[in-house]
Structure 1
């Protein structure tokens, strides 16, 4: 984010310089350089700063939108008061509405709304800026270990899956699907490795005395069983990677119970 702040300095300087040049109604190279120098002086004094790339990165991390969806987003599709952004066209062919968190709305309010697009960043400029930010941060830009813009989407879904596993009631698979925009829910199974700890916590709460008191579990023929009030869908219970440790004479063996579930089925 520190590198993004520096990149925003360059973006603000470039945009302000172009605006000053246009206001002069001149076409000379000298006037263009003079406008750029004046813009550089204004930006360096911190009196003008547009958090374009900082907002872009946070937008990706908080909405899980695809890069193309974000760059095509227009101001007339954003409702800051209702905290929503409507995407009429997505990769899977279905429109969807993005929920905007309050801190993200605060960032968007700092962006200029003079143009049509929320993020008027050319794709090639974004690609070069991303490389500069990664290099300035000491992040890999080549090979399999490189950080791609699309990885922000994966991180966003991972964060929601993790937060849902640690929140009372949590998020269902349908909630996660609505957030990510995946048409096939099977694509979300890659994120189930994030949820076991939170799932265990929610199971403990459901089977506790408090859970019994509030109807999250019931005693039926001597066994404690979950109810719908536990808000633990079967899809989540079946997809979570549950492991057991088998103690031997010299070591322990960890077994993934999903293999046994599949074999039993």
Structure 2
């Protein structure tokens, strides 16, 4: 292993001795730098060093036809600085070789995981297959950049997808990368989808039924050709349950003695318990039962849960003069009735099964009148102590 001060001019005269496969020339001008000269004529720059564990390693810098002497020295100096900080270039390169491409990771790791807990895993698979894989599927995980994610997100929108559809794509790819990092996938240290903003939709106006509107709707569903709608709609209004939770309800999940309904699978993936009021018990008592049918509100023709009830619902709400009311608004209305009855947001959160407090906070403004009455009651009770001028309730001006 000859050692010498390598020069650009002197490199041309370096040759592999006859009978040898290769020879290494060590550069005295740069610690650890060497040039491998092969009998075939090929030349390659290497850096020889000791890793943080004290083991001698050799790292390929590049072909001498592509890297000049000065470039090789500069690269070697840079790598030695990183080695001094505890990095191992050879080890890091080996890790990168193990980094999977996005499609392989999705189908080998993410999808089996999603199938174990996510009801909509097939939607994830469809989104990936149709929109993500064609653009990024063959790229290694560590090669995908934030710019790639933005291009994917905005490209989906430019192709005509709705904002919500493009956002679902972004949410999926962000979660896939989060799992890759959590599972310590080789080469993964940061999520390129982190910080990419979703497309903001204008806030959807929430519709709350008044007691009078609830009465009209109740009368209208009694006239529906769908005989189960007269039970389904009151069940939605009186429990605040989600549409699919009611349509898929089973008798075995109801404990009528304890006035409790256990919903085994919810949006959060966990079971929750819904208290049953006297009104709900009356609805359940009136629901017709079918032999050997486990469903509470089955389609009488199939004895299986309804796939959807939009047509019968649409007719009923139109008859009631409530064409702008959606089925999900019945859940909002239930929450508004709770708040206006003086129940706390904590109670609303637990009954509706919200996992995040901020979801329930949307109903906070509905409690204003109740809170105002509470404040006035304090003022009235202290009227004698503080004097009439502080204790008298002064009507508030309309906002």
For normalisation by structure 2, the TM-score amounts to 0.38
Aligned-pair CA distance for 1:124:
4.5
Please tell me whether residue 130 in structure 1 is matched to residue 318 in structure 2. Answer: no
Partner of 2:275: 99
Output aligned runs, 1:17-166, within 5 Å: 52-114=228-290, 115-121=293-299, 122-140=305-323, 146-164=324-342
Larger proportion of helix:
1
Please tell me whether residue 180 in structure 1 is matched to residue 346 in structure 2. Answer: no
Q: Distance in 1 between matches of 2:321 and 2:344?
A: 37
Determine helix, strand or coil for the equivalent of 2:309. helix
Partner of 2:370: 198
Higher relative contact order (CA 8 A, sep 6+): 1
Q: Distance in 1 between matches of 2:322 and 2:379?
A: 45
Contact 1:78 1:86 in 2 (8 A): yes
Determine helix, strand or coil for the equivalent of 1:109. helix
- List per-residue Cα deviations over 1:63-99 (Å, max 9, x = no partner): 1100111111100111222211110111012211111
Q: Distance in 1 between matches of 2:229 and 2:280?
A: 13
Determine helix, strand or coil for the equivalent of 1:6. coil
| Greater Cα radius of gyration, structure 1 or 2 | 2
Q: Distance in 2 between matches of 1:128 and 1:184?
A: 33
Q: Distance in 1 between matches of 2:380 and 2:220?
A: 48
Aligned-pair CA distance for 1:134:
2.1
- List per-residue Cα deviations over 1:153-187 (Å, max 9, x = no partner): 111111101112xxxxxx33321110111111111
Determine helix, strand or coil for the equivalent of 1:120. coil
Q: Distance in 1 between matches of 2:307 and 2:321?
A: 21
Structure 1 unaligned spans of 5+: 13-51, 141-145, 165-170, 211-243, 246-251, 255-265
Q: Distance in 1 between matches of 2:325 and 2:344?
A: 29
Q: Distance in 2 between matches of 1:209 and 1:148?
A: 43
Please tell me whether residue 3 in structure 1 is matched to residue 181 in structure 2. Answer: no
Q: 1:90 to 1:124 in 2, by over 3 A?
A: closer
Q: Distance in 2 between matches of 1:124 and 1:95?
A: 22
Contact 1:75 1:113 in 2 (8 A): no
Q: Distance in 2 between matches of 1:89 and 1:124?
A: 17
Q: What's the Cα RMSD here? A: 2.8
For normalisation by structure 1, the TM-score amounts to 0.56
Partner of 1:41: none
Structure 2 unaligned spans of 5+: 1-217, 300-304, 383-395
Determine helix, strand or coil for the equivalent of 2:223. helix
- List per-residue Cα deviations over 1:15-65 (Å, max 9, x = no partner): xxxxxxxxxxxxxxxxxxxxxxxxxxxxxxxxxxxxx22221111111110
Determine helix, strand or coil for the equivalent of 2:244. helix
